[in-house]
Chains A and B, each alone.
Chain A
Amino acid sequence: EVQLLESGGGLVQPGGSLRLSCAASGFTFSNYAMSWVRQAPGKGLEWVSVINAGGENTYYADSVKGRFTISRDNSKNSLYLQLNSLRAEDTALYYCAKDLGVVVPIDAFDIWGQGTMVTVSS
């Protein structure tokens, strides 16, 4: 079964850090670009970051650039998101999502995890 399972969320104070993980199974992880997408409570979807299949190229939304870092370990079928300098507005459910395109991303996400909640509050 194709599956993504996020972990690492929690309550953190403003200015703090967290590392999110996403464990992939059921598909050849190293063939696909992966993204993080977040959803603030009661709000819409917001794309956060993408990493290409090989891990060489990364891109970020302006709202997180310089604070968040995406990475992957293809030997462990795992995706990560390091969140630093967290702000209240980063409070959201963070999803990892698989791109539908094989090797070449098409910016369509066909597999989503269940999400991990990040709450930034003092």
Chain B
Amino acid sequence: QSALTQPPSASGSPGQSVTISCTGTSSDVGGYYYVSWYQQHPGKAPKLMIYEVNKRPSGVPDRFSGSMSGNTASLTVSGLQAEDEADFYCSSSAGSSVVFGGGTKLTVL
């Protein structure tokens, strides 16, 4: 149950795109199609942004997209907006458990 690897920080200017990676192993990310992404603003509960690698829950803007290649999943935020500034966490099924990434702080410059 080792944490997934995310870059600690990412940044971009308004209107730009930014991609956050999430690297695991064949026992988690690469072994299942159950990768999710969460956005967390300070003092708030996490919000589901992407599930099953690339599906968006109702209400999540299509500026948020997910993908996966091998043992690495990615979240892309296009057309960055000021309100996108937050912590982002990936998670993956790992069989009988769930593992989260360490989190990435996204800064909108």
Select one of A47, A60, A100 contacting B51, CB under 8 A.
A100
Select one of B3, B32, B48, B92 contacting A109, CB under 8 A.
B48
Select one of B52, B96, B101, B102 contacting A108, CB under 8 A.
B52
For residue B86, CB closer than 8 A to chain A, the reply is: no
> Contact flags (1/0) for A58-75 with B, using CB distance below 8 Å?
011111000000000000
For residue A26, CB closer than 8 A to chain B, the reply is: no
For residue B64, CB closer than 8 A to chain A, the reply is: no
Given contacts A59-B97, A100-B57, contact A44 B45 (CB under 8 A): no
Name A98's closest neighbour in chain B (CB-CB).
B48
Number of A-B contacts (CB under 8 A): 67
For residue A2, CB closer than 8 A to chain B, the reply is: no
Contact A46 B46 (CB under 8 A): no
Could you say which residues of chain A place their CB within 8 Å of the CB of B101?
Answer: 44
Contact B100 A47 (CB under 8 A): yes
Shortest CB-to-CB span from A10 to chain B, Å, is 19
Could you say which residues of chain A place their CB within 8 Å of the CB of B48?
Answer: 100, 108-110
> Contact flags (1/0) for B79-100 with A, using CB distance below 8 Å?
0000000010101110011111
CA distance A5 to B93 in the complex (A): 25
CA distance A44 to B1 in the complex (A): 15
Could you say which residues of chain B place their CB within 8 Å of the CB of A112?
Answer: 45-47
For residue B24, CB closer than 8 A to chain A, the reply is: no
CA distance A91 to B57 in the complex (A): 31
Could you say which residues of chain B place their CB within 8 Å of the CB of A45?
Answer: 38, 40, 46, 89, 91, 100, 103
Interface residues of B (CB under 8 A from A): 1, 3, 32, 34, 36, 38, 40, 45-48, 51-52, 57, 87, 89, 91-93, 96-103
